[in-house]
Amino acid sequence: MAEGGVLKIRISRKVYLPIYIMIFILFVTMGAIKFQGKEISIIAFRSVLTFSIAGMLWAEVHRLKNKYEINDHAVVHVKGLLFKTIKKTDIHALSDAQLSQNPWQTILGIGNVSANAFSEITSLKNINSPHKVINFLEEKMNRKSGMPAQNTKGGRKS
């Protein structure tokens, strides 16, 4: 994940678990129908294939559309695949960082990390290992402000 002080992150694939579960249910149902010796209509079979392929593609494209990077100077959010919007928030300007997790995210081990610069908020949504990410971000913020690194779990408030 980290490359010489730079952390590059994408949305976790765990977010798309409901899509994968739906595809799994469709294939298990098809298997059960075949096991019972019943015929599956060609339209149903094609629909299952189309839904599965479209679902996987959509999930992957959606994931690739958001890229986050934390380096020594800024928190960068690159949004879009063909038409990109790049939002940079200077580490100097960051006042605090916040980690939030709903129950579903806690179970899956993912979360949202917000880097707050006054009224400007850069959110790193649905990322893996959010605790490690917030610690990494804090380390960068502390290094910039000349403070010694702290190891906090829930976040930091300056």
Partner 1 sequence: MSEPFMYMRKKKNKYYTALAIFLVFVSILGYMLLTSFYPKLSLTGKIIDEVRPNSTITISAELGIPELKVSGDFKSVKLSGNSESPLYIEGSKFPLASKNNFLVFENFTGDVNFDQNEISKISGKALRVSVNGVPMEPRIKGTTLKISVDNFNYNDLGIEDEVVIKEISYSTSGSININNGKNIFSLDGEQIIVEDFVGDLKILGGKFKLDGFVKKLDINGKSAITISS
Interacting residues toward partner 1 by CB under 8 A: 18-19, 22, 25-26, 29-30, 33, 36-41, 43-44, 47-48, 51, 55
Do residues 74 and 89 touch, judged by C-beta distance below 8 A?
yes
Residue type, 108: L
In whole angstroms, the minimum distance from the beta carbon of 60 to partner 1 comes to: 15
Nearer to partner 1, 4 or 37 (CB): 37
Nearer to partner 1, 6 or 26 (CB): 26
Smallest distance from the beta carbon of 19 to partner 1, in angstroms?
Answer: 7
Q: For the CB of residue 70, give the shortest distance to partner 1 in the complex, in Å.
A: 23
Nearest residue (CB) to partner 1, 123 versus 129: 123
Of 133, 125, 132, nearest to 62 (Cα)? Answer: 125
> At its nearest, how many Å lie between partner 1 and the CB of residue 39?
6
Cβ distance to partner 1 smaller for residue 43 or 82: 43
d(CA 43, CA 54): 16
| E strand map for the chain | 2-3, 6-10, 66-70, 74-79, 85-90, 96-100, 110-117, 120-128, 155-157
